[in-house]
A and B are shown apart, each in its own frame.
Chain A
């Protein structure tokens, strides 16, 4: 039997992603930066599984790359991806612990990116369910 082509951005996957984005923002104050790093890796996986980002189009499996190739309409996608890359760089603790200023800047970026992604995904989920969200 022929398999049905996976729909781009199924609403079940989007709901889970929206919940995880909210958790990510809430977790930022309490958790280590490595924990945030893994949450973003988990989100990248969710984007791929939900058909929101094509793994084939990603040069690296990082969250900023997942945003860059998202199949749903996101205003200022390029800028959003750049912002996320800056965030990933700010919280990266490879060489040293991020400074308090770095973390404050990172939190601001995360809030902005999560807000914009949430709005875009709400719109997509609403269209799929025939709702005017």
Chain B
């Protein structure tokens, strides 16, 4: 079901506005004053949110300003940007198409959304940079921040795999549920197969990503994940080979 093609609900915004602080409401009101198209997306649109989830809203207009708080994430795009290839091929545009709810406007640009190869390459670059950064800064990071980054990298790996299969990335709570579900039902390694598809980056960087994936799996099996991360990166990961998960063909060879 393409929710954006069937649902138009301006009352939706009023409902979400009730959840916001006065400052956030003011920012939303200001954006709505200038926006031609308004689409709610993310976990609240998909109704998989927690109480703490923010409200994600895409506003298209010439003079809409971005805004971010704990409760509200206003993504602003101009009509020119929204009609451009960069946006139409992006991960976010594809997410909005699959999970967004149109609250205002015709949003005809949605008909032109197609996932572009550039979005996959960007995701690969981001993942490799995250693995590099985590490796480089490991000793300088609070154990809880290490844990946050391992979660970030795991989610990005899931997203990469979905993008590679030309599937719109779902809201984060659905990714997390899918990951958790694998614990009893099958190998979590399945979600990490995206690494095997990565062809960009140096061998050393891909090795770091591989080690990070290994650490994610070890951490998942550990009953005390924070304590297990309070060690140096190399000793946490230990020796690892390119086929540690039995799924990689190219990394390290």
Contacts and interface: CB of A to CB of B under 8 A. Distances in A.
A and B form one complex: yes
Interface of A: 32, 34-35, 37-39, 41-42, 44-46, 48, 55, 59, 61, 85-86, 89, 93-97
Contact of B137 (A42, A55, A85, A89): A42
12 contacts: A34-B129, A35-B129, A35-B133, A39-B137, A41-B137, A42-B137, A55-B142, A55-B144, A61-B142, A86-B68, A95-B91, A96-B91
B69 A85 contact: yes
Interface of B is mostly: helix
B122 A45 contact: no
Given A45-B142, A48-B142, A93-B129, 4 more contacts: A38-B133, A38-B134, A38-B141, A95-B90
B7 interface: no
A34 B86 CA distance: 20
Contacts of A35: 129, 133
Contact of B126 (A41, A61, A85, A93): A93
A35 B135 CA distance: 11
Contacts of B144: 55, 61
A32 B137 CA distance: 14
A32 B130 CA distance: 11
B148 interface: yes
Contact of B148 (A61, A93, A94, A96): A61
Interface string B47-73: 000000000000000000010111000
B145 A96 contact: no
Query: What 7 A-B pairs come out closest when comparing CB atoms?
Result: A34-B129, A38-B133, A42-B140, A45-B142, A89-B68, A38-B137, A95-B92
A34 B133 contact: yes
Contacts of A37: 133
A34 B140 contact: no
From DSSP, what is the main secondary structure of chain A's interface residues? Answer: helix
Interface string B106-150: 000000000000000010001001101110110011101100110
B68 A32 contact: no
A96 B90 contact: yes
Contact of A41 (B86, B90, B129, B141): B141
A34 B90 contact: no
A125 to B, nearest CB: 21
A46 B156 CA distance: 27
Interface string B137-176: 1001110110011000000100000000000000000000
A25 to B, nearest CB: 18
A45 B144 CA distance: 10
B99 to A, nearest CB: 14
A26 to B, nearest CB: 17
A44 B126 contact: no
Nearest to B143: A45
B145 A34 contact: no
A85 B91 CA distance: 23
Nearest to B68: A89
Contacts of B142: 41, 44-45, 48, 55, 61
A101 to B, nearest CB: 11
Contacts of A61: 142, 144-145, 148
Contact of A44 (B122, B136, B145): B145
B105 to A, nearest CB: 21
A5 B24 CA distance: 39
A78 B133 CA distance: 29
A6 B122 CA distance: 44
Contacts of A55: 142, 144
Contacts of B69: 85
